[in-house]
Structure 1
Amino acid sequence: MIDPQLHPLLESAQRVLAQLEAWLPPAPPPTNWAARAYRWRRRGARGWLDAVARIAPMHMDDLRHIERQKAAIERNTLAFLRGKPANNVLMTGARGTGKSSLVRAMLDAFGEEGLRLIEVDKSDMGDLGQIIELIAGRPERYIIFCDDLSFEEGEPGYKALKSVLDGSLAAPGDNVLIYATSNRRHLMPEYMRENLAAQHQADGEIHPGETVEEKISLSERFGLWLSFYPFSQDDYLDIVGHWLEAHGCDPDNIAQARTEALQWALERGSRSGRVARQFARDWAARHV
């Protein structure tokens, strides 16, 4: 029996708990392990894998004039799927040349074989340990993907990524790799003032400052580097033709689009694959 004098206190405590529960974020939903792609979401201190309902399609045949890069990442991904040694991958270079599209194409090509993709924002890279722990023991093979990865001074995700790549006492597991794209080869800004720490010896040898070495060490922890370069005019027009054909344009229509496609690229200041696809959408909408 509860002392009647305690009833008011218990009722007051229940009201306080109800108010606290209203302020707390809801529990994350259970993970849909049947999905092929996820986004890492965070609400307060809680994070979860949010299944992607509709995956943007991208096929290997849609990526043109990056054959060397396609072959390298396909070879690495296949080795990963088969339980063989594989490397984390850093893709750097010109914008719009197919870096992130290549990762999506890997999922399209090998999703049936158990490949899964987890997209993580740069701001959430500090959660890498939590993500790896969540998928530990799963039979699928996971690529943690970060697009446009770069860090500014003092960002916490830098240390977390560096530790997971190569340097932590705890192994990340054999069912996870990290694929990242960046416009910066060394992932962090470098400043002229950092060279003030360099020492010039009599024999001409230069020893960079330790700050520069620290920045370079992050990108060096990716085992496979793939560089992407701007497309030539002919390559750009070939990509335009590919996407126009995909949108139902006939050869005569594609030939007529040549001059306008070049003007489109000139106005955008880029002959990238992304610009080519954007032009193809615009042209097809007006002529098909």
Structure 2
Amino acid sequence: MSNPSINFLQQQAASLLLYQNVLDNNVGRAFVSLLSTLKEGNSIHCLQAYGRWFKTLAETGKNWQDYLIQQILWDDNPFSRQVQQISLDALPPALIAAVQYDLQALNFLYCCSEEQLSKWVRATCKMQELPVVWHIEGTRSHFLHQYNNWSEVLPQLAEHYCQNGTGIFSRYRALRWQKGQLKGISHPDPIQLTEIVGYEMQKATLIKNTEFLLAGYPALHVLLYGSRGSGKSSLVKGLLGKFGDRGLRLIEVSKSELYDLSAILEQLRNISQKFIIFVDDLSFEEDDEAFKSLKVVLEGSVTAKANNVLVYATSNRRHLIREFFEDRPRPRDSDEVHSWDTMQEKLSFSDRFGLTLTFEPANQDTYLEIIHHLALEANIKLETEDLEFRAKQWATRHNGRSGRTARQFIDFLKAELSLENG
């Protein structure tokens, strides 16, 4: 494709029908502004506009072509949303025509390289060269790089949206619900399932249940309960590393915001990805509104169940609602006729999860198994006797035997040995 004129590029940028948000960001707006100043021919304004575009693009760490493609693949528009629910052939012809038009226009913008813009700026400002002709070598890994005519890539683009989602679900695999909205987590915990040992049955069961969810089969809400530091939370977070590229998304919801669960489910219901709502360290007080909200999600209501959403919760308590001795019914002074029924409802709440995985405290053999596994991954080379002696001392002096204690010990030992070895 030959280099288009500045005026033609302005027309293409202004005429987008569905993909306007691709340029509605710092880099895109700086690009459009640079085209305008180039057309005006004012050398000072042109240099200033080039500097703004240069800086905003440099902050992304991408070249112009990679950045533009990323924005197209992330874009949330009527086509990218509807194609996740309806086959490409069933979409309205007018919508398909609009997408093809926009892709052709964006294809022209893609072909306007950093070198071409630098050349225009130098010509406008009558400069032999700019101080720096900045260019970052791109990966060229996206399928859009492989086509000269982007209007031909609709099937591949539709498949990408179905697999990876759009908007925030395309940009982030881990999210949190905060103050009534979903927010992406830029740096989620990188824990991998291979790092978690000692609870193989629990791990295998959780993986299998998650695979049911991803395959579209009935899957169960899960309660992971047991001793502190046993890896319950890490096991849930580690699912992203295994299944994130298959459309799994993890949404962290604090106990204080569980009353929003119904609203969260409605946002996720018609999304093509699969979601785990992760509630860490779950327990309830008497008459807690969050208890009622979670109960509705686990048991269902008149509203149809969202088949792409599960709740995975961790707790140190088997009975999630705190119970005191004075709560137990005493017929002589209780005002409630069926008080035992009320107490049993509280105690049986955890049963509503469908699947309960128990994490017992680690014995010495399990603890040392975790130590050896983590030491191997950390490339720590100590004699077995020395490693085990240090690990036992650490557990005695710190938090007892657990997966968390083992991780803390290995991290400390690795740093210590690195310093000793210079």
State TM-score, norm by structure 1. Answer: 0.81
User: Conserved in 2, the CA contact under 8 Å of 1:257 and 1:283?
Assistant: no
User: Conserved in 1, the CA contact under 8 Å of 2:226 and 2:317?
Assistant: yes
Residue 74 in structure 1 maps to residue 207 in structure 2 = yes
1:248 aligned to which of 363, 379, 384: 379
CA distance in 2, matches of 1:122, 1:82: 29
| Cα drift, residue 243 of structure 1 | 1.9
Residue 33 in structure 1 maps to residue 169 in structure 2 = yes
Structure richer in helix, relative to its length: 2
Residue 222 in structure 1 maps to residue 359 in structure 2 = no
CA distance in 1, matches of 2:257, 2:291: 10
CA distance in 2, matches of 1:285, 1:208: 57
| Structure 2: runs of 5+ lacking an equivalent | 1-75, 77-166, 333-337
| Structure 1: runs of 5+ lacking an equivalent | 1-29, 200-206
SS of the aligned residue for 1:109 comes to: helix
Residue 237 in structure 1 maps to residue 368 in structure 2 = yes
Partner of 1:12: none
SS of the aligned residue for 1:33 comes to: helix
The Cα offsets for residues 221-260 of structure 1, whole Å up to 9 and x where unpaired, read as 10101000111112212212222222221143x5423222
State TM-score, norm by structure 2. Answer: 0.56
SS of the aligned residue for 1:239 comes to: helix
Partner of 1:262: 392
User: Conserved in 1, the CA contact under 8 Å of 2:229 and 2:402?
Assistant: yes
1:180 aligned to which of 313, 336, 342: 313
Moved more, 30-39 or 107-116: 30-39
- The AA in structure 2 aligned to 1:38 is L
User: Conserved in 2, the CA contact under 8 Å of 1:194 and 1:211?
Assistant: no
Q: Give the 3 Å change call, closer, same or farther, for CA 198–231 of structure 1 in structure 2.
A: farther
Q: Which is higher, the Rg of structure 1 or of structure 2?
A: 2
| Cα drift, residue 157 of structure 1 | 0.6
Residue 161 in structure 1 maps to residue 297 in structure 2 = no
CA distance in 1, matches of 2:319, 2:176: 25
CA distance in 2, matches of 1:171, 1:183: 31
CA distance in 1, matches of 2:192, 2:169: 23
The Cα offsets for residues 126-176 of structure 1, whole Å up to 9 and x where unpaired, read as 010111111120000000000000011122111000011114211231110
Partner of 1:59: 192
User: Conserved in 2, the CA contact under 8 Å of 1:243 and 1:277?
Assistant: yes
CA distance in 2, matches of 1:269, 1:96: 9
The Cα offsets for residues 93-134 of structure 1, whole Å up to 9 and x where unpaired, read as 111111111111211111111111000000000010111111
* Residue identity (%): 43
SS of the aligned residue for 1:196 comes to: coil
Number of aligned residue pairs? 247
CA distance in 2, matches of 1:65, 1:245: 15
Partner of 1:95: 228
CA distance in 2, matches of 1:58, 1:198: 51
Cα RMSD, aligned residues only:
1.8
SS of the aligned residue for 2:329 comes to: helix
1:275 aligned to which of 405, 412, 415: 405
The Cα offsets for residues 176-212 of structure 1, whole Å up to 9 and x where unpaired, read as 000000011121111222333479xxxxxxx971231
| Cα drift, residue 269 of structure 1 | 4.1
Partner of 1:17: none
| Cα drift, residue 59 of structure 1 | 1.6
Moved more, 235-244 or 61-70: 235-244
SS of the aligned residue for 2:353 comes to: coil
User: Conserved in 2, the CA contact under 8 Å of 1:38 and 1:49?
Assistant: yes
Partner of 1:284: 414
SS of the aligned residue for 2:245 comes to: helix
CA distance in 1, matches of 2:220, 2:241: 20
Q: Bigger relative contact order, structure 1 or 2, given CA contacts below 8 A and separation 6+?
A: 1
- The AA in structure 2 aligned to 1:274 is R
Partner of 1:146: 279
Residue 194 in structure 1 maps to residue 342 in structure 2 = no
CA distance in 2, matches of 1:85, 1:196: 38
Moved more, 117-126 or 159-168: 159-168
Q: Give the 3 Å change call, closer, same or farther, for CA 129–242 of structure 1 in structure 2.
A: same
CA distance in 2, matches of 1:125, 1:239: 34
CA distance in 2, matches of 1:274, 1:100: 11
CA distance in 2, matches of 1:218, 1:232: 29
Structure richer in strand, relative to its length: 1
Residue 113 in structure 1 maps to residue 250 in structure 2 = no
CA distance in 1, matches of 2:214, 2:352: 21
Residue 50 in structure 1 maps to residue 183 in structure 2 = yes
SS of the aligned residue for 1:130 comes to: helix
